Amino acid sequence: MKDILQILEDRRGEASLGGGQKRIDSQHGRGKLTARERIDLLLDEGSFEEFDTFVTHRCTDFGMESQKPYGDGVVTGWGTINGRQVYVFSQDFTVLGGSVSATHAQKICKIMDMAVENGAPVIGINDSGGARIQEGVDSLAGYGDVFQRNIEASGVVPQISVIMGPCAGGAVYSPAMTDFIFMVKDSSYMFVTGPDVVKTVTNEQVTAEELGGAGTHTKKSSVADGAFENDVEALAEVRRLVDFLPLSNREKPPVRPFFDDPDRLEMSLDTLIPDNPNTPYDMKELILKLADEGDFYEIQAEFAKNIITGFIRLEGQTVGVVANQPMVLAGVLDIDSARKAARFVRFCDCFEIPILTLVDVPGFLPGTTQEYGGVIKHGAKLLYAYGEATVPTVTVITRKAYGGAYVVMASKHLRSDFNYAWPTAEIAVMGAKGATEIIHRADLGDAEKIAQHTKDYEDRFANPFVAAERGFIDEVIRPHSTRKRVSRAFASLRKKRRSLPWKKHDNIPL
Ligand code: HXC
């Protein structure tokens, strides 16, 4: 018995060394942690239960039969984050470059299947040279199996990808189908074709970092949702994110203990809106003042900053926030902001996370770039996402809510549950100046008349009361009581049920 136990210990010791000390040192030398160190940081201490420690590949080509490292380049299993179950796979770059063989893929598929059956998120840590070249088509088949599971798990359990090294070629499509992608600055990259191929085909000269680094994907492409300084920070942020999310679509989001009065009044909000309607203010200030303990978890903070998306808690319950940001492009809706917000709204809806929408929107951004880029279809994504959402929705209009953008931003017409407006709200087809120039075109040469017409229009429409008279706004509320009103609204909606007509699936304008 003793000998057998020793054999087990020896084998475990060998498995834990992955590709050996030299390669571990090299990994550390690049500022990267090993696959196991990452899991240790991600999960609660001592909670990791490993599967398939002793799996090896079955390839016999190119001398592979003589190198059969335990685990085959990926560490898989489950554990807990603040006591809640998650499944995890972590690719081990020290073993054959973390490359994906048939058995490597099978290990990932096994924990994905368990995650779906048991209703717990999947967190994938990617650090891989891609398809195991020695295995050829077996490797591609393995990727295909993972892709299919990503698709089937979508909307069933949250899927989070953390890119902590190379992720190139078709391999990028597994993270691409997950709910959130986090990247580490300077040590991770994602691209479909690398710099060498790009140079050959398009004659562009670009580094891996420029082509697919964390900066590129969080600021330009919006492929990634967050960029972090190093592995430690990225993993700590995954833990924070998981705390906001339900474990699966079978449960409601977690309700955490909270230490903040839901009735807290914020008198400073009464002066948040500047006197001049064209002066910007920071919508984040409102979000932070509404949130329990001022805790806001922002998603895609560096992309399309004219709209803000992220999670807060109200009375301990997770709430997704979508908010126009008047500080950037006056908070206008455009292709990027509509896409960003639409995806976020759909995530919240599939995982039963209520949505709070804060509106100050002057309309859609005009111009050929927008029209040629398909702002019609992209804007429709957000409209569609709100219109099909069945989760509780509460909307607060702080200032402008003009034209089509008013309707899009979780208006009553899209069956939002509670629609509040501050007294400073202006709900109209457009701003007073633009409206006057159209309906009083004949007076355009007469500055005095135009000023009077503009004032008349403002007096009539630049307020929330016309909409309130029609029931399009449920109540005009005082800004300082917004946290209280919104918290009570969500509390009243906890048992909300709404269903859509039966369909196989919808056909969102992609
Ligand atoms: C087998 C691989 C490998 C791979 C790396 N290794 N990638 N082994 N298959 N795909 C091995 C190396 O031989 C080396 O082994 C070890 O991993 C570390 O690699 P290095 O090259 O020394 O590391 P580094 O200099 O950091 O370069 C990393 C790299 C490079 C940029 C990822 O290894 C590379 O270009 N690899 C090939 C990438 C690739 O073409 N993959 C296939 C893409 S197609 P030793 O024993 O020396 O330590 C694809 C399709 C997926 O992925 C399709 C899905 C549908």
Residue-wise pLDDT tens digits, 303-333: 999 999 999 999 999 999 999 999 999 999 9
Residue 459: per-residue pLDDT: 87
Q: Whose CA is nearest to atom 48 of ligand 1?
A: 96
Report, as residue numbers or ranges, the catalytic residues: 169-170, 404-405
CA-proximal residue: ligand 1, atom 27 (nearest): 129
Q: What is the pLDDT of residue 321?
A: 98
Q: Which of 96, 127, 147 to mutate to test the pocket of ligand 1 (most atoms within 8 A of CB)?
A: 96
From the alpha carbon of 67, which atom of ligand 1 is closest? 46
Q: Which residues of the chain have pLDDT under 50?
A: none
Rounded distance from Cα 167 to ligand 1 centre (Å): 10
Lookup: tokens for 234: 């990225």
pLDDT digits (tens, 9 = 90+) for 331-387: 999 999 999 999 999 999 999 999 999 999 999 999 999 999 999 999 999 999 999
Question: Residues near ligand 1 with C-beta < 6 Å?
Answer: 96-97, 99, 129-133, 140, 143, 166, 169-171
Check residue 151 and give its pLDDT: 98
What residue ranges define each of the domains in the chain, with the CATH number in brackets? 2-242 (3.90.226.10), 267-425+464-492 (3.90.226.10), 431-462 (no CATH)
Question: Which of 292, 282, 483 has the alpha carbon at shortest distance from 394?
Answer: 483
d(CA 440, CA 438): 6
Interacting residues of 398 by C-beta distance below 8 A, sequence separation 6+: 272, 273, 283, 286, 358, 359, 360, 422, 424, 425, 479
Please report, for residues 275, 314, 325, the alpha-carbon distance to residue 281 in angstroms, rounded to integers and kept in the order given. 11, 23, 8
* Mutation pick for ligand 1 pocket among 72, 95, 133, 191 (CB with most ligand atoms within 8 Å): 133
What local confidence, expressed as pLDDT, does residue 462 receive?
Answer: 87
Residue whose CB lies within 8 A of the most ligand 1 atoms, among 99, 101, 177, 193, for a mutation test: 99
Q: Compute the distance from residue 99 Cα to the ligand 1 centre, in Å.
A: 6
Sign of CA dihedral 263, 267, 272, 273: positive
152: Cα within 13 Å, side-chain hemisphere: 14
Which residue has the least CA distance to atom 1 on ligand 1? 132
Per-residue pLDDT at 432: 86
CA of 132 to the centre of ligand 1 (A): 8
CA of 188 from ligand 1 middle (Å) equals: 14
Q: Report the distance separating Cα 347 and Cα 204, nearest Å.
A: 36
How many residues does this entry show for the chain? 510
Which residues lie below 8 Å from residue 395, measured CB to CB, with a gap of 6+? Answer: 356, 357, 358, 359, 409, 410, 411, 416, 418, 419, 420
CA distance 416 to 184: 37
Residue nearest to ligand 1 atom 31, measured at CA: 129
Rounded to the nearest angstrom, the distance between the alpha carbon of 218 and the centre of ligand 1 is 25
The pLDDT of residue 85: 98
309 CA to middle of ligand 1, Å?
A: 36
3-state secondary structure of 75: strand
